[in-house]
Structure 1
Amino acid sequence: MREARHSGAATRAVRRRAEHLREALRPPGLSRRTAALLPDRHGTRLVGSPVFVISSQRSGSTLLRVLLNSHSRIRAPHELHLDTLQVRLGADYAAEVMAELGLPRAALEHLLWDRVLDHELTRSGKDIIVDKTPNNALIWRRMAAAWPDARYLFLLRHPGSVLESVLNRHHDAERTGALRDVHAQVAGVQEARSRLDGLTLRYEDLTADPERETRRVCAYLGVAWEPGMLEYGRQDHGPFKPYFGDWSENIGSGRVQAARPLPAAADVPEELRETARAWGYLG
């Protein structure tokens, strides 16, 4: 019964990502032409340099987050879904009132998002915050605009493996819809990598040599590596459940598990081949 509830919730999560795709790619107040790397200068940020994991779903972002959250200076909470925190102006004149303050709706939302990050960072007592929500791959332009000094971790996984994992995890997922969602996310990751500076990691490398890869992340973030990062099962990382991230037995084991074998080249859908080649998974 519990597994069925989780499966249903996970399926709704996949559908929600698709529903938010259009607004995520075309945020309020930004036209298609101007929705690029335009710094939002409408407000001072409480969190000046947050860290965003840019990855698709089922790419190991929950594993990465618990490894990072085990560091004494890094707070990596469950998925925050910042794109779902939206401002609704409750009167016709409100937009004009806010415009007089230099605060269009998108800028108001950025202030809200920043306040949420600051709240969680202050609550944790740490000084670096990492958000690993997969939908970040679809709203990276807004993040780059809201936080010009943000840092990025690009977490790659073989796109064919991502699709396999989605279908294995969400047994009632429809293949065409799952493929569409995975394609949108991996394409978003690739586009973000081409426009933003950051550190690229591979899920397959993270599972094969977590110490080496977490050392790379620590060097990028400017903190000393801590051995306790590899023993994430000894710390409390909050609940593992749908909408929060991965809730599989693997992540719940408290130990890094080996990645599954990569799919055969012939089994990779045509829609994912271009990205798979760009990431070095296909010749």
Structure 2
Amino acid sequence: MIHAFLLYDSRSGSTLLSSLLNRHAGVVVAQESHFISLVLENFSDEQSLSVDGVLGLLYGEPRFVEWNVDQDILRVKMQDLGQLTYRALFDAVFFEYLKVRGEGEPEVLVVKGARHDFHLKKLKEIYSDARFICLLRDGRAVFNSKLDMVSMTGMKMSNNVFQAAYDWKKMLRRTSGEGLIQLRFEDLLADPEREVSRLLDELGVSPAGKEINSAQQDYYRLIGKKQKHLHKNVGRDPDRKIAVKWKDRLSPAQIQLYELICARELLRNGYELQAPGNVSFKESSGMILGQGLHWLWLKVRNFFYYTFIDRSLLRKLKEKRFE
């Protein structure tokens, strides 16, 4: 079984891609969970892994709980492993998850989870034969999609141009290495069949594994109740219009500021610049000043939150994940 890790930003079309891949007989796409990133971030030393510590972490993660893996069964499985390693631990979790799904061992297991791109080097060490799929979406569209979207925490995903633009730049930097399977969301929308076929070829799926399996579970039905509001378009035919909705929704000044920060990255990845040339100085400077002050306030707020409430500031700074 080949493990394929999906690298993506939220609101980049990862659930659409997952639903398209999951239809094929040789592919199983796991529901989104942060459990791998959480383990790597909380147990940076593999020798410190413990059954109780890992289980407490996993079952404190709402997305993982929705996998419906029995905690007592997983405990016994982990205890039987003796000295825990990342690979043995993750494989044990996947084994129990596939049993819950009623799936045999697929040709490819696609692992969907946030922050995999932060741990790319470590994941390559753990799974030397793994594939890594980098799904990219126009950063302006990502920002627009996040503007009014509320995450599982009840907070808005992003409403600051500076934060959104720099987060997108940093993600591109982390996923710029060789050996990644690159896929643009816009290309997936334009021709889903072609792009999925290309992806299956690169993953090495057999002709039998490429067959559409009507018995395969509908991916949308697997999404937990707390996340369903984030993925209302999944299950319908892909709507090509969503690729360019941002042009009508973002203000000229927002587009101009975003492109000021990310012009090089946008062009390098095949996205044309769209900022109009008639944005007034007052509107432009007002946007920069207002968003700049808001960005500074977000930094201060996050500093206090990660220091005194979440208590993860030092770890985030070490892993270059402080936002």
TM category, shorter: 0.5 to 0.7
Shift of 1:188: 2.8
Q: Quote the residue 1:260 is aligned against.
A: 243
Distance across 2 between alignment mates of 1:179 and 1:118: 41
Distance across 2 between alignment mates of 1:96 and 1:75: 27
Q: Quote the residue 1:111 is aligned against.
A: 88
Match of 2:188 among 206, 210, 213: 206
Matching of residue 273 in structure 1 with residue 263 in structure 2: yes
**Which of structures 1 and 2 has the bigger CA Rg?**
2
Matching of residue 85 in structure 1 with residue 39 in structure 2: yes
The aligned amino acid for 1:180 is Q
The aligned amino acid for 1:73 is G
Matching of residue 76 in structure 1 with residue 59 in structure 2: no
Q: Quote the residue 1:145 is aligned against.
A: 125
Q: Give the secondary-structure state (helix, strand or coil) at the position aligned to 1:124.
A: coil
Distance across 1 between alignment mates of 2:222 and 2:150: 19
Q: Percent identity?
A: 23
Distance across 2 between alignment mates of 1:272 and 1:241: 34
Distance across 2 between alignment mates of 1:96 and 1:135: 20
Match of 1:175 among 159, 174, 178: 159
TM value normalised by structure 1: 0.64
Q: Quote the residue 1:54 is aligned against.
A: 7
Q: Which runs of 5+ in 1 are unaligned?
A: 1-46, 98-106
Shift of 1:246: 7.0
Q: Give the secondary-structure state (helix, strand or coil) at the position aligned to 1:214.
A: helix
Cα pair distance change 1:114/1:227, threshold 3 Å: closer
Distance across 1 between alignment mates of 2:125 and 2:257: 38
Distance across 1 between alignment mates of 2:172 and 2:127: 18
Shift of 1:112: 1.9
Cα pair distance change 1:124/1:186, threshold 3 Å: farther
CA RMSD for the aligned pairs?
3.5
Shift of 1:183: 3.4
Shift of 1:241: 4.2
Residue deviations 1:216-256 (CA, integer Å, cap 9, x gap): 01111122374638x99x942233347757733211x4322
Distance across 1 between alignment mates of 2:225 and 2:168: 18
The aligned amino acid for 1:143 is L
How many residues get paired?
218
Q: Which runs of 5+ in 2 are unaligned?
A: 51-83, 274-323
Residue deviations 1:112-153 (CA, integer Å, cap 9, x gap): 223223333455212310012232122222211211111011
Shift of 1:200: 1.1
Residue deviations 1:57-99 (CA, integer Å, cap 9, x gap): 111000111111111110002112121236978xxxx8599xx
Q: Give the secondary-structure state (helix, strand or coil) at the position aligned to 1:131.
A: strand
Distance across 2 between alignment mates of 1:280 and 1:78: 30
The aligned amino acid for 1:116 is V
Q: Quote the residue 1:191 is aligned against.
A: 174
Shift of 1:169: 1.8
Q: Give the secondary-structure state (helix, strand or coil) at the position aligned to 1:281.
A: coil
- Bigger relative contact order, structure 1 or 2, given CA contacts below 8 A and separation 6+? 1
Q: Quote the residue 2:143 is aligned against.
A: 163
Shift of 1:267: 5.6
